[in-house]
Structure 1
Amino acid sequence: MRLNYLLLLILLLNACHGVPTSVNGHNFIQKTGRTAEKKWTLVWQDNFDKQHLDTTKWTMIPPGKADWGKHMSNNPSCFRFDNGYIYLRGINNPDTTTDHRPFLTGGIYTKGKFAFQYGKIEIRAKLEGARGAWPAMWMLAEKNKYGEYPKNGEIDIMEHLNFDSIVYQTTHSYYTLNLKQENNPPHSGRAAINKNDFNIFGLKWFPDKLVFTVNGTETFTYPRVAGVDPSQWPYDQPFYIMIDQQLGGNWVGKVAPDQLPVQMIVDWVRVYQ
């Protein structure tokens, strides 16, 4: 009886602090009504304080066939480094004799150089507006654990269209795209931004949920759901980072050449675990 009373007293005392307790080999965790934010440790970053791209961390994104990548280029005019910022630019192609594309865009990714699984990522950037501008910050799986795209999923930390005062934060996967399960659970949210200033776009990634943020405020959560097709949660593997100033496409619409150049100005990228 006295032992049981002692156990109860210790648990009640620790309940105010939410700390683990061990008594006579038995482990207890008494939680408070509010779960505290975990303490994050910085594990990777780039402050873009060099006058060139740090190629130990990043690669310029090559052209691709998809809407988002069809104007990607390593043309120096698509990149600028100044005063601790990288400018990823969408421009009118200055020379269409060798490259017939009307527009060129700059983007960088960490593919093959850095990927992480679970943790927090934050990116501070300013988004300029133009008709057809489509800057994005997103993540793809480093390996094809489940097969070809979209089976390994896609995490869109931020996408911005034209002159909008909101951004889109989205997940894509076989579950959402092929099985059309866009609302079980909802796979996308919108968040307001400071349109004419820098914002911090973020993601907190846990084994059971993706929590999107803007300027430190949680804006949208995509949870892992039990009892549905396993393709709903491919987010159990390392992902790499992509940041790019895209132009044009079915979603954002046509580009206005007279409104170019347009830029995404990135201050820093930080990853915590």
Structure 2
Amino acid sequence: MKLFPVFLFLLLFTSCIQKKPYTVENLYIFIQNADRSDQEWELVWEDDFNAAELDTQKWTKIVPNNADWGKHMSDDPACYSFKNGCIYLNGIQNTDTISDPRPYLTGGIYTKGKFAFQYGKIEICAKLENARGAWPAMWMLAEQKKYGNYPRNGEIDIMEHLNYDTKIYQTTHSYYTLELGQKDNPPHYGTAEIDTAAFNVFGLAWYPDRLEFLLNGENTFTYPRVADVDSTQWPYDQPFYILIDQQLGGSWVGEITPEDLPVSMIVDWVKVYQ
């Protein structure tokens, strides 16, 4: 009889372990368990930005790159500020063109090499300031490049906003859409109206057979996995990491108006569920 409490403890302990909605690979990649489709979402990762500095265990500042979105990215402290429990990712005029000749600098963060997940739900609460040439984005890229180089692993754009628009774009890109030109079979993007004067919750519910884009908890656009098409239509069966950045300028958003700067994307929190 004395063994019963020990047995009960072990049973409960084992049960708690089994209730985790994910398995972890390489200490930071959260793979959702296969039996989660009809289960309640459970919070598995978050950042509320309540500290006075960036949590570098979770995020890295994005440095410049040659992509249209990345030419002004910077780790300059002026591009990052922390106020009222939020991180401000700033787009600014560069005041030191001797050290860095670029006319503009922008702040952005990503979780590459620190957190990635496969299937689940992500929500990002943020307020988008407006400026001519402002291009804030929340998006995801493949952590491990299962299918080779971009765009074969796909891109998931949870939210992109342009200039003074009152709408956002929610988009998928892949070899299928970009190289094969299959942008309507199925439609690869949707738009949704927003109030840029308020905080909104931008999200994605990611399943093995579909991507459900969200705004303030409501489904706005669904991109399904399609049978009997080229296999590059669905590279979304691998872990992805998170990028959040206040971009400036580019062929899509257009020219920057310096008088409109600074401009910020104000992020309150990020939450991932599985």
TM-score band, normalised by shorter chain: 0.7 to 0.9
* Distance in structure 2 (CA, Å) of the matches to 1:218 and 1:38: 18
Answering whether residue 206 of structure 2 is matched by residue 208 of structure 1, we say no
Helix, strand or coil at the partner of 1:258:
helix
> Deviation per CA, 1:35-75, whole angstroms, max 9, x where unpaired?
x9741000000000100000000000010001100000000
Corresponding residue number in structure 2 for 1:237: 238
Corresponding residue number in structure 1 for 2:228: 227
Corresponding residue number in structure 2 for 1:98: 99
- Deviation at 1:152? 0.2
* Distance in structure 1 (CA, Å) of the matches to 2:135 and 2:159: 10
- Deviation at 1:239? 0.1
- Deviation at 1:144? 1.3
- Deviation at 1:83? 1.8
Answering whether residue 255 of structure 2 is matched by residue 254 of structure 1, we say yes
Helix, strand or coil at the partner of 1:183:
coil
- Deviation at 1:82? 1.2
> Deviation per CA, 1:112-159, whole angstroms, max 9, x where unpaired?
000000000000000000000000000000011100000000000000
Amino acid at match of 2:109: I
Helix, strand or coil at the partner of 2:259:
helix
Amino acid at match of 1:53: L
Amino acid at match of 2:135: W
Corresponding residue number in structure 1 for 2:77: 76
TM-score (norm 2): 0.86
Amino acid at match of 2:250: G
> Deviation per CA, 1:73-125, whole angstroms, max 9, x where unpaired?
00000000112100000000010012110000000000000000000000000
Amino acid at match of 2:158: I
* Distance in structure 2 (CA, Å) of the matches to 1:202 and 1:140: 15
Amino acid at match of 1:162: N
- Deviation at 1:194? 1.6
Helix, strand or coil at the partner of 1:67:
coil
* Distance in structure 2 (CA, Å) of the matches to 1:237 and 1:94: 41
* Distance in structure 1 (CA, Å) of the matches to 2:230 and 2:102: 41
* Distance in structure 2 (CA, Å) of the matches to 1:89 and 1:40: 32
- Equivalences for 1:155-166 in 2 at 5 Å? 155-166=156-167
* Distance in structure 1 (CA, Å) of the matches to 2:256 and 2:124: 26
* Distance in structure 1 (CA, Å) of the matches to 2:194 and 2:246: 17
Answering whether residue 264 of structure 2 is matched by residue 263 of structure 1, we say yes
Aligned residue pairs, count: 238
Amino acid at match of 1:176: T
Helix, strand or coil at the partner of 1:175:
helix
Corresponding residue number in structure 2 for 1:89: 90
- Equivalences for 1:40-189 in 2 at 5 Å? 40-189=41-190
- After superposition, the Cα gap between the structure-2 partners of 1:106 and 1:148, relative to the gap in structure 1 and judged at 3 Å, is same
- Deviation at 1:205? 0.1
Percentage of identical aligned residues = 70
* Distance in structure 1 (CA, Å) of the matches to 2:151 and 2:131: 29
Amino acid at match of 2:96: D
* Distance in structure 1 (CA, Å) of the matches to 2:229 and 2:139: 25
Over aligned residues, Cα RMSD in angstroms?
A: 0.9
> Deviation per CA, 1:182-204, whole angstroms, max 9, x where unpaired?
00000000001122100000000
Helix, strand or coil at the partner of 1:77:
helix
List structure 1 segments (4+ residues) > 4 angstroms apart after TM superposition.
none
* Distance in structure 1 (CA, Å) of the matches to 2:57 and 2:196: 32
* Distance in structure 1 (CA, Å) of the matches to 2:207 and 2:38: 12
Unaligned stretches of 5+ residues in structure 2: 1-36
